[in-house]
Amino acid sequence: MSAPMKAILTDIEGTSSSISFVKDVLFPYARRALPGFVKARGHEPAIRKWLDMVATEMGGMCQDAMIAEVMQGWIDEDRKHTALKALQGMIWADGYQSADFTAHIYPDAAEALRQWHAAGLPLYVYSSGSVPAQRLFFGHSDAGDLTGLFSGWFDTEIGGKREAGSYRRIADSIGLPAAEILFLSDVVAELDAAREAGMDTVLIDRIEDYPQPRDAGQANGHRRLESFSAIMPTA
């Protein structure tokens, strides 16, 4: 018999929210703004530390304009680099504050998150997007400010999403055995890592993001659902 579910940990892109919002709205916004952002604010310590991290990876001294160009390339490749994600989050803050966009959330996800929270189930986020970017995302979602629904936030500062150790550290930080946490994601490799750490898993396979639903082999033994509605009826 499996352990009772005591908390839910959710991914964002492709799980609670559409891939196309991230790829077609957020990434191009950050790509366009990056050179100006680095030029105007690169001297601020909270920004400098990330630029220096990228410069070190590039082999040492390089001009900020070149660092910005390298990071634009990383955006095109969808690299989940912690420095890039931190800077993207700072850039998106302007976009949300000036109401250039609101963050997409699938209506079934917003509804289920509200129901689970109302039922007393603690909710957590684990995304490659930085924690500040996650807070902005759920704070300015199509369904309003949902930040109050969450008990905690995790990004790649705790470790990569495809590494079992990250999920062990998250379970420790939440203060529950991994077996009592359900992780939701659209990426099988992330679910594999969470399962290796002992978490329960559900593959979210949204038709809008994955027009060719994953078959049982591709799902690699993870329960596969097309929305949040069927995960745990609370009604």
Ligand X SMILES: CSCCC(=O)C(=O)COP(=O)(O)O
Footprint of Mg ion (CB under 5 A): 11, 13-14, 186
Residues 6+ apart with CB under 8 A from 78: 23, 27
CB 54 within 8 A of CB 71: yes
Residue nearest to ligand X (CB): 129
Angle, alpha carbons 193-195-196 (nearest 5°): 65
CB 82 within 8 A of CB 155: yes
CB of 138 to Mg ion, least distance (A): 15
Binding mask 102-141 for ligand X (x = CB under 6 A): -------------------------xxx---xx--x----
CB of 1 to ligand X, least distance (A): 31
Phi, psi of 195 (to 5 degrees): -65, -40
The candidate with the shortest Cα–Cα distance to 38, out of 22, 21, 25, 55, is 55
CB of 17 to ligand X, least distance (A): 8
Residue 134 interacts, among Mg ion, ligand X, none and using kind-specific CB cut-offs from 5 to 8 Å, with ligand X
Buried residues in 165-200 as b, exposed as e (16+ CB within 10 A): ebbbebbeebebebbbbbbbbbbbebbbbbbebbbb
Return the range that interacts with ligand X (CB under 6 A); candidates 7-15, 33-41, 48-56, 142-150: 7-15
What is the C-alpha R_g of the chain? 18
Residue 127 interacts, among ligand X, Mg ion, none and using kind-specific CB cut-offs from 5 to 8 Å, with ligand X
- What's CA 10's distance to the chain center, in Å? 8
Identify the H or E element spanning 181: strand 181-185
Cβ proximity to ligand X: between 26 and 112 the closer is: 26
Q: Which of 6, 80, 169, 224 binds ligand X (CB under 6 A)?
A: 80
CB of 81 to ligand X, least distance (A): 10
Residue 133 interacts, among Mg ion, ligand X, none and using kind-specific CB cut-offs from 5 to 8 Å, with ligand X
CB of 154 to Mg ion, least distance (A): 13
Cβ proximity to ligand X: between 17 and 178 the closer is: 17
Return residues touching ligand X (CB under 6 A).
Answer: 11-14, 22, 26, 80, 85, 88, 127-129, 133-134, 137, 161
